[in-house]
């Protein structure tokens, strides 16, 4: 049975996202997906997804031309969903840039905080399925508490405000699996929902529903 399309979603193309699998996941969740790097197209959409695989500094460099457009979109209270590196880019800075000798590379600063590297002694990258513990209500978390999602990363978000943590996962330490700004319209998952089976599909469907509320 086909899924009824319910939201017009822009998937941001800045050269570092796994666009094919993200598109497929969003379409399965009922979205009509447009891949674009045009900020004007963002504003015509019901929601915007910022995917990402790779290094923080490279991500911010590649996204330089759309930075202002993403921030303006988010500040209008519109839904902006970051995935993996895209989630980390929502924060202010990252230790990853420091490690690579690139200094304090500035993120989008939509969720104040810093991305930190897992401690020495922990296997890096963190790769595999881990349980989600929902810490507070958010539209994307409906029905996912105690479910498992697929992670591949070496850095994790450390928001300035602990209330920004929507869900946690245990990997030697409890770290944020989902973060959101105070208004709730800017949020991100450290894991890949498009690779997380039925749990990921539930999150993407929750996102689509949120975009058309």
CATH number for 194: 3.40.50.880
Residue 1 lies in a domain: no
Q: Note the pTM of the prediction, 2 decimals.
A: 0.94
Indicate the DSSP class of residue 34. E
**Is there a contact between 89 and 48 (Cβ–Cβ < 8 Å)?**
no
User: What values do phi and psi take at 34, rounded to 5?
Assistant: -120, 130
Indicate the DSSP class of residue 151. E
pLDDT above 70 covers what percent of the chain? 95
How many helices and strands (H and E) does the chain possess?
Answer: 7, 13
Residue 21 lies in a domain: yes
Number of domains observed in the structure of the chain? 1
- Is 84 an annotated catalytic residue? yes
Residue 2 lies in a domain: no
Q: Which of 58, 84, 147, 153 is catalytic?
A: 84
Q: Which of 135, 147, 168, 192 is catalytic?
A: 192
Residue 32 CA from chain centroid, whole number: 19
What is the predicted pLDDT for the residue at 165? 98
Q: Which of 96, 147, 194, 211 is catalytic?
A: 194
**Is there a contact between 130 and 83 (Cβ–Cβ < 8 Å)?**
no
What is the predicted pLDDT for the residue at 121? 79
Residue 31 lies in a domain: yes
Separation CA 153–CA 176 (nearest Å): 12
What is the predicted pLDDT for the residue at 123? 86
Q: Tokens 């810490």 correspond to what residue?
A: 135
Section 2-9 average pLDDT: 72
Residue 133 lies in a domain: yes
Range of the domain at 71: 7-212
- Is 192 an annotated catalytic residue? yes
Residue 207 lies in a domain: yes
């Amino acid at each position: 049975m086909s899924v009824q399309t319910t939201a017009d979603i822009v998937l941001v193309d800045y050269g570092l996202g796994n666009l094919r699998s993200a598109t497929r996941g969003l379409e399965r969740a009922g979205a009509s997906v447009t891949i674009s790097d045009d900020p004007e197209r963002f504003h015509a959409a019901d929601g915007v997804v910022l995917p990402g695989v790779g290094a923080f500094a490279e991500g911010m460099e590649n996204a330089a031309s759309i930075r202002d457009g993403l921030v303006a979109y988010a500040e209008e209270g519109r839904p902006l969903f970051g995935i993996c590196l895209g989630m980390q880019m929502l924060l202010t800075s990252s230790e990853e840039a420091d490690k690579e000798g690139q200094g304090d590379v500035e993120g989008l600063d939509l969720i104040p905080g810093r991305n930190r590297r897992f401690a020495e002694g922990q296997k890096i990258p963190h790769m595999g399925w881990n349980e989600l513990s929902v810490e507070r209500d958010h539209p994307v978390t409906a029905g996912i508490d105690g479910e498992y999602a697929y992670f591949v990363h070496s850095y994790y978000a450390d928001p300035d405000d602990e209330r920004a943590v929507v869900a946690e996962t245990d990997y030697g330490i409890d770290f944020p699996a989902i973060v959101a700004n105070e208004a709730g319209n800017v949020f991100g998952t450290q894991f890949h929902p498009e690779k997380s089976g039925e749990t990921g599909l539930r999150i993407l469907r929750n996102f689509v529903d949120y975009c058309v509320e």
